Amino acid sequence: EVQLVESGGGLVQPGRSLRLSCAASGFPFDDYAMHWVRQVPGKGLEWVSSIDWNSDNTVYADSVRGRFTISRDNAKNSLFLQMNSLRTEDTALYYCAKDTSPNTSGSYIDYWGQGTLVTVSS
Amino acid sequence: DIQMTQSPSSLSASVGDRVTITCRASQSISRYLTWYQQKPGKAPKVLIYAASSLQSWVPSRFSGSGSGTDFTLTISSLQPEDFATYYCQQSYSTLWTFGQGTKVEIK
């Protein structure tokens, strides 16, 4: 059974940093691209970032580029999102998600975690 | 970036109704279009990929069509468990984008 378990969310002040983690199991983690998608409670889905199977390619939404860094550790079946210079508008539930392909182009998400809530507030 | 626009933003329907949701891309995305369903408090689930391919665990009352810029999700006979919010998403560009969502409510 595929499982994606996010952690690391919490309350943080604007301008500070936070690192999200996602522990993956139930599938060969190093065969698939991975994504972070966020959702403000009660609002729509926003794609945040993607990383391909071997970390050669990473992509970011305009809203987070230069502040967030996606990474993965295939030996530990883990995905990360380092979030720096956080803003109030980054407040959201952050989902870790598995791609159907090793690469991020032309594919889609087939499994999602349950999300970890990030609240940016003073 | 490619913009995805869904219509309507919400709709009310009865059990047994045929429901159609449209999604329009700001430029051609070929058939790189996925539909997801999300229920309150839950993570999204994939319904349709590559515009018209049904994900394995999804009932056949769901179908998708379209290519280029215009796409449709159809529920042939709405069931109680289908009341949810539906999102389209493009992966033609490496910068993925979602539509704003369509909430399907009980009439």
**Block mean pLDDT (10 aa), chain B, length 107:** 97 96 98 97 97 95 98 97 97 96 94
- The 8-class DSSP code of residue B82 comes to G
Angstrom CA distances, B70 to A65, A92, B21, B43, stand at 29, 30, 11, 26
Chain B CB contacts of A95 under 8 Å are: 43-44
**What integer pLDDT is reported at residue B64 of this predicted model?**
98
pLDDT for A13: 98
Asked if residues B34 and B91 have their Cβ atoms less than 8 Å apart, the reply is: yes
- What residues contact B7, with CB distance under 8 A and at least 6 apart? B21, B22, B24, B102
The bridge status of strand B102-106 relative to strand B10-13 is parallel
Query: Tell me, what's the pLDDT at A106?
Result: 82
Q: Tell me the C-alpha to C-alpha distance, in Å, between residue B18 and each of A45, A79, B35, B49, B60.
A: 25, 40, 17, 20, 13
Closest CA to B25 of B88, B89, B69: B69
Chosen from B10, B91, B100, B102 to mutate, greatest number of chain A CBs within 10 A: B91
User: What DSSP character marks residue B55?
Assistant: P
Helix (H) or strand (E) holding B63: strand B62-67
DSSP string, chain A: --EEEEE--EEE-TT--EEEEEEEESS-GGGS-EEEEEE-TTS-EEEEEEE-TTSS-EEE-TTTTTTEEEEEEGGGTEEEEEE-S--GGG-EEEEEEEESSSSSTT--EEEE---EEEEE--
- Write out the two tokens for A26: 């139930």
CB contact under 8 A, B1 and A62: yes
Please write the tens of the pLDDT for every residue from A33-73: 999 999 999 999 999 999 999 999 999 999 999 999 999 99
Which residue in A36, A109, A117 has the most chain B C-beta atoms within 10 A of its own C-beta, making it the best mutation to test that interface?
Answer: A109
B45 part of contact set with chain A, CB < 8 Å: yes
Query: Would you say residue A28 has pLDDT above 90?
Result: yes
CB-based contact A59 B94, cutoff 8 Å: yes
Residue A86 predicted with pLDDT over 90: yes
Do the Cβ atoms of A106 and B95 come within 8 Å?
A: no
Token pair 């309150």 in the structure block, residue:
B40
> What is the pLDDT at residue A62?
97
Tokens standing for B62? 């769901």
CB contact under 8 A, A112 and B1: no
What's the confidence (pLDDT) of residue B10? 97
Can you give the pLDDT at residue A55?
A: 96
Q: Is the CB of B91 less than 8 angstroms away from the CB of A100?
A: no
